[in-house]
Structure 1
């Protein structure tokens, strides 16, 4: 795809021999910017397309029905300031399995902010790295809706990492139908990692911000009706990223990694600091409880991006997830004005378990494994109930050559024993968050890992992108099927699985 061109500052960032590749399907403006998150496997694509009856190597399972849907940054216009991946306009890539055939579609999330910029022909947002001059931006920092997805009440909902305003999309066409709102809320804002409980159909959500109340928590029922919302008292503005839930409780996070509000107000800068002298707190609140009902548990200082699952065991609430002891690794010399962004995106985390005793207040915590992994997913049929398997992405550490965030392999964990199984994507091949896809019509009567694990990969040697389908019981055997996609798919953030019985019959 095009001719190789030497990039002045990051000659090997896209892992291609000879420098950064010029793509026929990428915007020309990216080549004038020294930013590794705009090149190689991160390079945005231009245009939207749809294709049916895709070629497959291997054999598709007969009982695989539904869609793998993945969100991620794909900027349309040159950034006004320094580019951060959170600034890239959300684009959804969907791979659809139905009646033994596979289709593909990609589409931008048509946010209000993107429409404003398209109308003016230029970027207006200062971006998450600033400088924060809002005088020319009618919406402040652009809510790109580029981070996560949930399928709820017949809609695909796109979400932004910084508690943005969710968008409603059609799960099949990926057309944006406007803002997702729950009548009765004061505002539509919602965290990127709000959750759907497949057992009840409920949407379990939270929100956070820079002004009191610093967090809210709520529930909408399976019909799309808001049934509960309450303020959660925090010491100040925080940056929680995820939430957990069990059959009877939700687990909210108060983490010692946040920005200085005085600096933000005086100098319009967001300066994130990891406060190693402040404990991490997890709050357990009855599912329909008020803010005053939260029971807080103090743990070792850390940051947690993503929860795998939570459940109850007698007096204990158990939470599995990925724990980072160092959410802001040291910036490297020579990386210039992007040094802190690059350090933040170089994710260091490992598989971890916390246990909270609701009767005695005791906390037990510790490693499940020390391998650097994240973007952890589990079988959604077992969310809120005891589970043992999780599917993570292997992430190279800095000393292993990790210049940018990238996924080099799929890791399956047995969280009861700590055993792991791995499948390496291959030299120069980079993956996406994997989802667990239950067999068509499956419930909890099946074994927890009786189903499929699905991910996207892009090979930087050929720039071919494929969708891989694994037997969840034997990922180390490699994919059962490899679906060859009709276009290059850039690196992205989070994915979800929409069941065929929900998506095609909604």
Structure 2
């Protein structure tokens, strides 16, 4: 075993389970992100008329998509969950019925390794091989997934090349390019404004300009893209937007690009003496229009929503004040394991465009992340956000796990919580507005949907909650035809967009 400080048995609820739909080489590798709830699922299938416990209201109209890693080939070095080949799982809802599909994302790396029959890239923990085609690090496209301009668009954590898939068949349609762009990459998190159909995106890298920001039209064409001046290479993860502005992030968690070039290692450092900066730019603004606001040092993975209140810009999200904690044990995987374990909480930032004043503080201190809200209301004031509860390191092993759904009222800081159950682990939830909903509807008029896997039985389900009261528990459970491993991000596409 290569990493005795974190044996497999500790990370798989006391057992090493052999799965028929997982590659059998995983049992030769001692890494908790290849076992138990993280064991890859390599089978692709399409199944209609799924078994449902409870009743699916006809108001659930659309599709839940979730992206995540499903490693095919035995790693050549240390494995990181960002290395796993991307796979989209989809559950479609229409007329009170549900169906399922899943598909690998056919990135250049996936196709080349499939042809070679082996892993070729060393993974994000390096050492990187700059002679390899495409990236010295394999772009797996395994992080987020967005519905935009009639296509499904999966993306990757390290700002890779977005891809496109048919949202109904999951057929792979190649890389997603916007003609006229100066760069081809996009960050993991790009946001579609349902009110206009526009997509707001950014890209970052190790060469100047270190960030670009752009807007794509609803028809899939580029409207604008501008360079953003930064002090050096950064690793932002998300952005926020309001009706008229976009909020870009310059955060003090980044790597030394020169060290990467010299030694082929990406070593992150949290610079506690550098403030977090948030740049507010008009949606269609130029580089010179951005205004920077300094805040307490932190790292931000995900934004719930942002909006305007007079001269103020308000941004809700989850904040980590200490994203690089020291590992409690040794071993080759120690730093990766502690980095993947989120210690974050619900937080609010306020920026005054007239005076330059900044106000920031906790909404609550519960350890939550992977926060989502009703996308119909993105850019305007909202109350509610739906988070995943993450047990702290001392509470439940060393891997990232979601053990409960949390509905926040961000105006009061109060929350409702539903525990998935002992040994049951969830996915990022997506908000599904009731069929025909508009901005005149109540913000929580709809459903919250997640996928869970029960480690007691290794069965998976899609759970459907009434968003008004998640404490009632799932109003319907959709039995999935295969085990779905833990993954990263999810989204909802409306039936009005998919089926018409």
Q: Which runs of 4+ in 1 moved over 4 A?
A: none
Please, which of 61, 65, 81 is the counterpart of residue 77 of structure 2? Answer: 81
Q: Which deviates the most, 112-121 or 129-138?
A: 129-138
Please, which of 310, 318, 335 is the counterpart of residue 314 of structure 1? Answer: 310
Distance 1:345 1:8, change over 3 A: closer
Mapped to 2, the partners of 1:342 and 1:256 lie a distance apart of: 20
Please, which of 322, 327, 343 is the counterpart of residue 323 of structure 2? Answer: 327
Which residue in the other structure is 1:370 paired with?
365
Q: CA deviation at 1:281?
A: 0.2
Q: Is 2:204 the partner of 1:208?
A: yes
Q: Which deviates the most, 363-372 or 263-272?
A: 263-272
Distance 1:487 1:474, change over 3 A: same
Q: CA deviation at 1:156?
A: 0.3
Which residue in the other structure is 2:185 paired with?
189
Q: CA deviation at 1:80?
A: 1.6
Matched ranges for 1:139-288 at <5 A: 139-288=135-284
Please, which of 11, 14, 31 is the counterpart of residue 13 of structure 1? Answer: 11
Q: CA deviation at 1:14?
A: 1.6
Matched ranges for 1:399-418 at <5 A: 399-418=394-413
Q: CA deviation at 1:82?
A: 0.9
Q: Is 2:122 the partner of 1:121?
A: no
Q: CA deviation at 1:100?
A: 1.5
Matched ranges for 1:484-499 at <5 A: 484-499=479-494
Q: CA deviation at 1:10?
A: 2.2
Distance 1:357 1:153, change over 3 A: same
Which residue in the other structure is 1:385 paired with?
380
Mapped to 1, the partners of 2:223 and 2:56 lie a distance apart of: 41
Distance 1:440 1:261, change over 3 A: same
- CA contact 1:329–1:346 (8 Å) conserved in 2: no
Distance 1:482 1:7, change over 3 A: farther
Mapped to 2, the partners of 1:149 and 1:278 lie a distance apart of: 32
- With the length of structure 2 as denominator, give the TM-score of the two structures: 0.98
Deviation digits for residues 314-339 of structure 1, max 9, x if unmatched? 000000000001111211223x1111
Which residue in the other structure is 2:345 paired with?
350
Q: For 1:230, what is the secondary structure of its paired residue?
A: strand
Which residue in the other structure is 1:31 paired with?
27
Mapped to 2, the partners of 1:391 and 1:248 lie a distance apart of: 25
Q: Which deviates the most, 422-431 or 324-333?
A: 324-333
Deviation digits for residues 188-224 of structure 1, max 9, x if unmatched? 2001101000000001000000010000000011111
Q: For 1:392, what is the secondary structure of its paired residue?
A: strand
Q: For 1:24, what is the secondary structure of its paired residue?
A: coil
- CA contact 1:124–1:137 (8 Å) conserved in 2: no
Which residue in the other structure is 1:471 paired with?
466
- CA contact 1:323–1:350 (8 Å) conserved in 2: yes
Q: Is 2:46 the partner of 1:57?
A: no
- CA contact 2:161–2:186 (8 Å) conserved in 1: yes
Q: CA deviation at 1:436?
A: 0.4
Q: For 1:264, what is the secondary structure of its paired residue?
A: helix
Which residue in the other structure is 1:3 paired with?
none
Q: For 1:92, what is the secondary structure of its paired residue?
A: strand
Q: CA deviation at 1:456?
A: 0.3
Aligned length: 497
- With the length of structure 1 as denominator, give the TM-score of the two structures: 0.97
- CA contact 1:125–1:137 (8 Å) conserved in 2: no
Q: CA deviation at 1:291?
A: 1.1
In structure 1, stretches of 5+ residues that fail to align are 1-5
CA RMSD of aligned residues (A): 1.3
- CA contact 1:7–1:20 (8 Å) conserved in 2: no
Q: For 2:178, what is the secondary structure of its paired residue?
A: coil
- CA contact 2:55–2:96 (8 Å) conserved in 1: no
Mapped to 2, the partners of 1:262 and 1:107 lie a distance apart of: 37
Mapped to 2, the partners of 1:266 and 1:78 lie a distance apart of: 27
Q: For 1:228, what is the secondary structure of its paired residue?
A: strand
- CA contact 2:388–2:428 (8 Å) conserved in 1: yes
Matched ranges for 1:443-454 at <5 A: 443-454=438-449
Mapped to 2, the partners of 1:28 and 1:247 lie a distance apart of: 50
- CA contact 1:316–1:357 (8 Å) conserved in 2: yes
Mapped to 2, the partners of 1:7 and 1:206 lie a distance apart of: 39
- CA contact 1:245–1:384 (8 Å) conserved in 2: yes
Deviation digits for residues 81-114 of structure 1, max 9, x if unmatched? 1111111000000000012110001110011111
Q: Is 2:357 the partner of 1:359?
A: no
Q: For 2:183, what is the secondary structure of its paired residue?
A: coil
Deviation digits for residues 250-290 of structure 1, max 9, x if unmatched? 00000000001222122221110000000000000000111
Mapped to 1, the partners of 2:100 and 2:236 lie a distance apart of: 33
Mapped to 2, the partners of 1:265 and 1:432 lie a distance apart of: 36
